Structure 1
Amino acid sequence: MKNTINCLIVDDEPMAREILEGHLKKIESVVVVGSCKNAVEAFNMLSSQNIDLIFLDINMPEISGLSFAKSINKKIKVIFTTAYREYAIDGFDLRAVDYLLKPISFERLLQSISKYHHEHIVPRQSPQVNLNPEKSDFIFVRSERKMIKINFSDLDYIESLSDYLKLYTNNKVIVTRETISSIEAKLPKNDFLRVHRSYIVAINKIESFTQEFIEIKKKAIPISRTYKNDVKLRLDNV
């Protein structure tokens, strides 16, 4: 079964295309099928190649990335790349997988690929296996040499500290040696929200929020710039 991601890069800046392609070639599951300097070239590439994911610059001459994204097959997913933060909301309105602000770091790019993988490849590969947290109401995590059951309804927020996590529940704090990305993939996407590289929160436990912080049980949890647009989009539509 197909487990690679066929990618197309569309950006009018040669250096931006070169940097992004260099990053992507380091990721084993990614195949860079082509690199285009404008939407016209990209249209021609889509007609002859099987593309899963497009890294698409927004501010391009003649045809903008936003206009191009509206015109393509909805099965082809888009990660927007741009130097202009103000376009982010428009990008997410088009159901983009992610929005990357230039200059794009390899670490941030990996987060986007991981997000695409969990949303579009894993469900496609294993539909017969009931591992979808949306259909369960708990998970198990390893702590103190045993597996501990955590009900999603009891979980307030998760904090990443170096090489371990703290899971804050209604009545206790559970410490586990697991990455925040791996635990995020196990949580129901409708109920939990990544707000920072070090924090995931339960949406129904949020008591108040600003552009910079979310408050849960008198704990001020920071919202990082990386996740700010996604947080705003989710909370504005709750």
Structure 2
Amino acid sequence: MINCLLIDDEKAAIEILKNYITKTPLLNCIGGATNAMDGLKILNENDVNLVFLDVRMPDMTGIDFIKLIPDTCKVILTTAHIEYALDGYDYGVVDYLLKPFSLARFAKAVQKAQSLLTMEGTKRKYSSVNDDHIFVKTQLKGKLIKIDYPDIDYIEAVKNYVAIHRGREKILVLITMKELEEILPKNRFIRVHKSFIVPVERIKSVEGAHLMLKNTTVEIPFGDSYKVGFYDAIRGRLL
């Protein structure tokens, strides 16, 4: 559930948003405010994930409001003034809804916000504050496994799971390859196939359509669509 806050100096605009929210099971409306200061008070007193924010308001503009809130709180601008779109994107807004907007356009913006919140939530869930390991949940409730990056041989997609190969162990994690790729440090891991991510330090050689890794006899397929990104990543070390 995404907790959202509505801030607009027009009460009619807030009512339209509330109506759209009631038709969107994903959303939970925490409250509405007709000025930025009241909105800021609500935000500070509640767990708010998403703000639907007007730009032109008395006392404080929507852009000024964005500067005061944490990055973890996402913003969708709702305004009749298209000239503010670029300003909004400069501050990392999720989307820009130009009034009047339809329920379908509203739903599209919400989907974008959901994707961002899910991805960032996954990072917080699986990532450690350190840059040399991660903690992953196992299939046993309450059990976590610490995995040091240097111990990872390679990572493989297995149906709805990702298998982290560590020596003789194969640790299954309920996460997508894309999500894990975003979490892992890009200077240490590289995706070489739709189903494989490898540690850069483990690569022994590239042989046509395969990569050979240290400490394992497994041949890792090298997908054509990943070759450009791979060679870009090693460009500074390619002789």
**Per the shorter chain, which TM-score range?**
0.5 to 0.7
Q: What's the CA shift for 1:21?
A: 1.0
The answer for unaligned runs of 5 or more in structure 2 is 127-172, 182-190, 196-222, 230-239
Amino acid at match of 2:30: V
| Identity in percent | 35
The answer for unaligned runs of 5 or more in structure 1 is 140-150, 155-189, 191-238
Give the secondary-structure state (helix, strand or coil) at the position aligned to 1:71.
coil
Amino acid at match of 1:14: K
| Aligned equivalent of 2:40, options 40, 43, 58 | 43
Determine the structure 2 residue equivalent to 1:180: none
Amino acid at match of 2:39: A
Determine the structure 2 residue equivalent to 1:132: 178
Amino acid at match of 1:153: S
Number of equivalenced pairs = 141
Whether 1:10 and 2:7 are equivalent positions in the alignment is: yes
Contact 1:138 1:152 in 2 (8 A): no
Distance in 2, Cα, partners of 1:43 & 1:121: 24
Amino acid at match of 2:74: K
Q: What's the CA shift for 1:124?
A: 2.2
Contact 1:6 1:33 in 2 (8 A): yes
Given the superposition, is the C-alpha separation of residues 152 and 123 from structure 1 closer, same or farther in structure 2, using an over 3 Å criterion? Answer: farther
Larger radius of gyration: 2
Determine the structure 1 residue equivalent to 2:69: 72
Q: How does 1:156-235 map to 2 (within 5 A)?
A: none
Q: TM-score, normalised by structure 1?
A: 0.54
Measured against aligned partners, the alpha-carbon deviations of 1:159-209 in whole angstroms (never above 9, x if no partner) come to xxxxxxxxxxxxxxxxxxxxxxxxxxxxxxx9xxxxxxxxxxxxxxxxxxx
The root-mean-square deviation of aligned C-alpha atoms, in Å, is 2.4
Whether 1:60 and 2:57 are equivalent positions in the alignment is: yes
Q: What's the CA shift for 1:131?
A: 2.6
Q: What's the CA shift for 1:47?
A: 2.0
Determine the structure 2 residue equivalent to 1:106: 103
Measured against aligned partners, the alpha-carbon deviations of 1:108-152 in whole angstroms (never above 9, x if no partner) come to 11111111111212552575524317546549xxxxxxxxxxx78
Q: What's the CA shift for 1:79?
A: 0.7
Give the secondary-structure state (helix, strand or coil) at the position aligned to 2:38.
helix
Determine the structure 1 residue equivalent to 2:87: 90
Amino acid at match of 1:52: N
Q: What's the CA shift for 1:57?
A: 0.2
After the TM superposition, list the runs of 4 or more consecutive aligned residues in structure 1 that deviate by more than 6 angstroms. Answer: none
Distance in 1, Cα, partners of 2:24 & 2:192: 32
